[in-house]
Amino acid sequence: MAARHQEDSAASTAALARLCSTYWRPLYAFVRRQGMPPHEAEDMTQGFFEHFLERDALRNVSPASGKFRSFLLACLKHFLANQRERAQAQRRGGGQRLISLDGSSGETQYLLEPADTLSPDALFERRWAFAVLEQALSRLREEYVCRNQGELFEALKGFLPGGEGELSRPEVAARQGISAGALDVAIHRLRQRFGTCLRVEVSQTVSSNEQVDEELRHLISVLGR
């Protein structure tokens, strides 16, 4: 896992920041489902990440530990249990935000979830799956933008699995000034690259290449529930 490498490595810091950004909303949703109001859930989630980073908890992740999502959720549950036992819990981190957060966005997404049908654990996994997809999509968008094909990406992204494009293939082809055959090739390449980007995102959260396929299958099963 990239975030476990050298402590002073810029790549390690970037990887850790990316992981924290990815997992903030899934963990926030888990805390909210425990019955906490929005402001308390946001503070608790932020407090967990401060605690997690202060203790350098990633050093305790061994290759045998497997999936980062399972490790992180277990850490959160332990943190919440400790907080409940402390009648006068004090805010840690000196009031400094170590991660850029968007609490309103997390709450908005939480309110879109089924009110009573998902357990906290199931809700966490659902938000985790969507977060990984969002990161893969962001990575793919960056690739197209770097090739000066940002407009093409925006036109084609609706044809990705789960996408909801407003225009039909003939309409998109006409707007892009390409043939139907060329559009089919462009969509095929987009889907291939999305699969690669998704695999890259998942590979950063497991401890071995063998677990990537397993985690991808689990992600698809979560989305299909």
Q: What is the pLDDT of residues 116-135, one digit of tens each?
A: 578 999 999 999 999 999 99
pLDDT in tens, 160-204: 987 887 889 999 999 999 999 999 999 999 999 999 999 999 998
Mean pLDDT lowest for which of 35-49, 79-93, 196-210? 79-93
Query: Are 1 and 69 spatial neighbours (Cβ–Cβ below 8 Å)?
Result: no
Q: How far apart are CA 30 and CA 24, in angstroms?
A: 10
Is residue 99 within 8 A of residue 24, CB to CB? The reply is yes
pLDDT at 104: 53
State mean pLDDT over 215-220.
Answer: 94
Q: In the chain, what are the domain boundaries?
A: 2-223
CA distance 219 to 216: 5
Where do we find the tokens 């980062």? 68
Residue 204: what pLDDT?
A: 84
Cα distance between residue 201 and residue 23, in whole Å? 12
Tell me if residue 66 falls in helix, strand or coil.
Answer: coil
